[in-house]
Every structure is written in C-alpha cells, then in structure tokens.
Amino acid sequence: MTGTLENFRSICTKIICVGRNYSEHINELGDVAPTTPLIFMKPPSAFVIEPNDIKIPSDWDELHHEVELGVIINKKCQNVSKEQAEENIGGYCLALDMTERKIQYDFIKQGYPWLLCKGFDTSCPCGNFIDKNQINPLSSSVNLWLRVNGQMRHDGHTRDMIFAIPDLIVYISKYITLEHGDLILTGTPAGVGPVKRGDQIEAGINGENNFKYAMKFNVS
Ligand SMILES: O=C(O)/C=C/C(=O)CC(=O)C(=O)O
Ligand SMILES: [Mg+2]
C-alpha cells in the first residue's frame, strides 16, 4: 500500500457523494427525502486546495456552495457490516460540494446524471486530513459552518444526518468496493446559496475539546 491518509487527495480514486441527507436541506430545495442513500460521484480532478481558487467555468455564471463532512476510508473493503464500519474510517476532512444549481435542476427534469454540474474541475475544495480521534460526528458537538464574504450561510450539525456515517459505509460498500484514500462526502446541511466570481468562502468545522479547523477559498 503506498501513500498515507495525510495525503489522501493524491491517492484517492473515488469521491463518492451523498445527497439529500439532512431534512432541513431537503426542505429548503423542496425535495423528497430518499428512502435509501442518494449517491453520486465526483472525479478526483475535482479536488482543489488552499490557496488555489474555486474556478467557475467561463460559460456558467453561478454556483452554489454546500459544506460537507468528508469521511476518508483507510483500507479496501466490501460488504462492511454496521459493527465493522468504524474500523474502515481513517479520518475526516472538511469539503465543499460546489454545484451549478441551474444546470442540476435542468438535469433533474431531464433525468440526466449530475456529473457535470457537480464534478467539474475545482468542484471539491477540500481541507487537511483530520484524525478520527479528533471529532465524533455522531455527538451533538460537531458543527459545520460556511460564510460568504463574512455572511453566515451554513450552520449545521453532523448529528442531523438522516443516514449516519456507519449506515452510509454499509450501503455504499455493498455495491462499490471502497479503497484506501477514498473520500465519502456526507451531504450538506441547510443554507445552500449562490456565489459569484470575486466572492470569498470561509468554511469550518468545530468539535468537542475545542477542536476547530477552517479554510478559505476565493471564487474566480
Ligand atoms: O435534489 C436537489 O435539488 C439537490 C440535491 C443535491 O445537490 C444533493 C447534495 O449534494 C446534498 O444534499 O449535499
Ligand atoms: Mg452535496
């Protein structure tokens, strides 16, 4: 096995995303809650890290931000049971699921896949590896937040996920082999909204024992 989880972005072969996983976000978009996890993917070319910009493709004029907790898988696994799920988590990261919402609605109407509106270059701004002992997403204290130009947009808690992280690992690994370095984005809490070129996004995660991590991206 090559590569350490600290540099998960360079060994990641799959970014698997979960959608509609927080009730308040489902309500804000007028969607219906899924009965099983809603899964889609971004290619690893979607990664961008500080100090690089989130780049809006030249023929698009608006993106939405979604702040999400990323789960980093530590070994190859298939058909993971709920009891074993925790053993396959290497750590976490803060991530954004940047989305071209107008195109996404058009794709939803036409029954097309979401790859383009969710998987374009720089659609997955991502922070550093967070050791799994530093946060417990099932506890009441893990808060995800995001501000645009200083204005608060997201302020949610990972305990409010409809499908908790162990359930997501069980579900996904039944159909897709997970590998060392793979990333699962666990869905956005409420607060999605537009950003335009020139905006600055700050996002963070707070946890127990005063744990804090934050990152900043300019949009261009
Ligand atoms: O159903 C919609 O209108 C939009 C759903 C999403 O963009 C899903 C997510 O990516 C999410 O909930 O995080
Ligand atoms: Mg999302």
Q: Encode the chain (220 residues) as per-residue pLDDT tens digits.
A: 578 999 999 999 999 999 999 999 999 999 899 999 999 999 999 999 999 999 999 999 889 999 999 999 999 999 999 999 999 999 999 999 999 999 999 999 999 999 999 999 999 999 999 999 999 999 988 999 999 999 999 999 999 999 999 999 999 999 999 999 999 999 999 999 999 999 999 999 999 999 999 999 999 9
Ligand 1: which of 66, 67, 107, 144 to mutate, most ligand atoms within 8 Å of CB?
66
Tell me which residue has its CA closest to atom 7 in ligand 1.
Answer: 19
Torsion of CA 54, 55, 59, 64, to 10 degrees: 0
Residue with the two structure tokens 């900043």: 216
SS3 content of the chain, % helix, strand, coil (to 5): 20, 35, 45
Burial of 83 (C-beta count, 10 Å sphere; 0-12/13-18/19+): exposed
User: Is residue 26 within 8 Å of residue 193, measured between CB atoms?
Assistant: no
- How far apart CA 28 and CA 13 sit, in angstroms, is 32
- Other residues' Cβ atoms within 10 Å of the Cβ of residue 13: 12
Whether the bond between 51 and the residue before it is cis, its omega within 30 degrees of 0, is yes
Ordered by where they begin, the domains of the chain are 5-218 (3.90.850.10)
Closest CA to 153 of 63, 65, 94, 29: 65
ipTM above 0.90, yes or no: yes
- How far apart CA 102 and CA 112 sit, in angstroms, is 13
Ligand 1: which of 26, 29, 31, 98 to mutate, most ligand atoms within 8 Å of CB?
29
pTM exceeding the 0.90 threshold for the entire prediction: yes
> Given the CA of residue 20, which atom of ligand 1 is nearest to it?
12
